[in-house]
Structure 1
Amino acid sequence: MIVSNAVFQWFNNYFQPFALYHKNLKEDGCFIFSTLGEQTFRELGQALSFLGLESPKEALINAGELGQILKTCGFAKWTVEEQLLKDYHASARELLVGIKKIGAQSHCFSARGFCLKGGDIFKLAVFLNSRYREGKGVYITYQVLYGFAQKSRQTN
C-alpha cells in the first residue's frame, strides 16, 4: 500500500510518480492519496481577475484528469472523489497570512516573477473582505480530491 496526503499539488507532473507507484506496488496493491483540485483558491483567482491582475498559479488538476492519469499508468481500478471545503478567517489579511504560512504564497503569487505590490495587496484585501465574507468570516475554498487506485493481478 502507498498512501500520500496533500503532496501532489506541489508537483508539475502527476504521471511520473503515479507510474512509479504502479510499478512498485505488488499485485492487488493499493494507492490511496489526496491532493488539491482546480477549484482551490478560486476566490483568490476571481479577485485578482476582477482587479485586472492575472494570477500565474499553475492550474491544479481536476478529478477527470486524475482518473485518466491513473488509467494511463496501468491501474485496473480507480476512483476519485471530491469535497469542497471553506476555510474561514477573521479578515482577508489573516486569510493571506494563512496562505503564506502553509507555503502556498509561492504557488499562488511568485511563479514566473509575479509579485503583488502594496497597493495591489490592499485592493485585494478590500475585495476579499467585501465579496467573500459570511457569518464565520472571510473564506477561501479548498477542493480536496481523494483518490484510490489498485494494481491488478497479472493474468497470462
Structure 2
Amino acid sequence: MNALLGLDKNKVRRSFSAASDSYDGLAELQRRVALRLLDKTDFSCNVETIVDVGCGTGFFTRHALKRFQCKQMLAMDIALPMLDMARQNIVRSELNCFCADAENLPLASSSVDKIMSNLALQWCLDLDSVFAGFRRVLKEDGKLLFSTFGPATLQELKTAWATVDRYSHVNDFYSLKQIERILRLSGFRPIMAESVMEKSFYPSVMALMNELKGIGAHNVTKGRNKNPTTRSQLQQMIAAYPVDEKQRVTASYEIIYIAAEKV
C-alpha cells in the first residue's frame, strides 16, 4: 500500500508540473481508461456540481462535460501547470479550475453531486482520509466514480529491478479488496468494482522508461534509492527485463474501476 512505504508528495507535485508539456503526447493509456470509465457509469446525467479530482491536462474533464449535463464542473489538480493546460484545452463556461490536494479538498460540506477521478488517486498517501473527505463534500446520495492502478501494475519492471537491488523502484498500489474495504468503512456503498489487466508494448525498456518520465509517473516512494542510478545498474535491469518473440517489452497495468455512492 502507498501508506506503508509512503509517497513524497512534493516530488509528486514537481513530477507532474514538469510533465505538463509532454503529457498529452504520451498518455494513451490514460485516455483509453478515461473513456472506458465513463462508459461504465449510468449515473444521472443532469446534476449541479461535478468535481474532477486530479484532472491533469483535462482530457477526462472534457469528455465528462460532453457526457454529463452540469451547472458547474470543478477541475482540480495538485500541479498548477497541469491546470493551466486544462484551461487551455477546455473552453466551457461551466469549468472552474483550482489547485489542491485530493487529501485536503477545500470544498464546503455537502456541496457536490458527483466526484470523478481518472488514474489519480494512486498518488494519495492515505485513502481513508481521501474517501472521508469525499464523503464530507458530497451531498446526500452523492456519487463517486474513479479509476486507479492496482498492485500488478508494472510487475515486469518491478521484477527486473529486483535483480539489481532491494530498493523500491515502482510505486505501490492498493488492491481492489483494500479499496472496497476502505470505501465501506468511509461510508460508501460500492456499486461496481472491477479489476482489468491492460498491456502496453514498447520497442525497448528505455522507451517505456521515457514514457513514464514524460507523463510524470516517477518513482516517488520514500523507499526509493536517493542516489543516481548508475549505467551498470540500468544495464543489469534492462538485461533482466523479458522480451517477447517480436523483441518487444511488455508493461502490464492493473486498472481498478470503482463506482460508489454515499450512504
Q: What TM-score, normalized by structure 2, do the two folds share?
A: 0.52
Q: Find the partner of 1:8 among 95, 99, 121.
A: 121
Contact 2:149 2:256 in 1 (8 A): yes
Distance in 2 between residues matched to 1:114 and 1:132, nearest whole Å:
28
Equivalents in 1 of 2:164, 2:219: separation in Å? 20
Question: How is 1:116-155 mapped onto 2 (pairs within 5 angstroms)?
Answer: 116-128=229-241, 131-135=242-246, 137-152=248-263
Give secondary structure in 2 for the equivalent of 1:28.
strand
Distance 2:260 2:245 in 1: 37
Identify the residue that residue 49 of structure 1 maps to in structure 2: 162
Deviations 1:7-46 (A, max 9, x none): 1111111111211111221222110001111111111111
Q: Quote the offset at 1:58 in angstroms.
A: 4.4
**Pair 1:30–1:37, CA change in 2 (3 A):** same
Structure 1 SS opposite 2:178: helix
CA distance in 2: counterparts of 1:75 and 1:95, whole angstroms: 36
State the identity %: 26
Q: Distance in 1 between matches of 2:174 and 2:116?
A: 19
Alpha carbons 2:201, 2:248 under 8 Å: kept = yes
Higher relative contact order (CA 8 A, sep 6+): 1
- The 5 Å alignment of 1:1-150 reads 1-107=114-220, 111=224, 113=226, 115-128=228-241, 131-135=242-246, 137-150=248-261
Structure 2 unmatched runs, 5+: 1-113
Q: Counterparts of 2:185 and 2:173 in 1: how far apart (Å)? A: 19
Q: Secondary structure at the match of 1:104?
A: coil
Distance 1:136 1:80, change over 3 A: farther
C-alpha separation in 2, matches of 1:110 and 1:103 = 18
* Contact residue 88 and residue 136 of structure 1 kept, 8 A: no
**CA-atom RMSD in angstroms:** 2.2
Contact 2:167 2:223 in 1 (8 A): no
SS class of match (1:113): coil
**The residue matched to 1:107 in structure 2 has which SS?**
coil
The TM-score, its normalising length taken from structure 1, stands at: 0.85
Report if aligned partners of 1:109, 1:116 keep a CA contact under 8 Å in 2: no
The size of the alignment, in residue pairs, is: 150
- What stretches of structure 1 of length at least 5 have no aligned partner? none
The residue identity in structure 2 corresponding to 1:126 is A
For each residue in 1:118-154, what CA deviation from the matched residue of structure 2 results, as whole angstroms up to 9, or x when unmatched? 11111212222xx1435382111111111111113xx
Kept after mapping to 1: 8 A contact 2:204/2:248: yes
- Structure 1 residue aligned with 2:55: none
Alpha-carbon separation, structure 1, partners of 2:251 and 2:228: 20
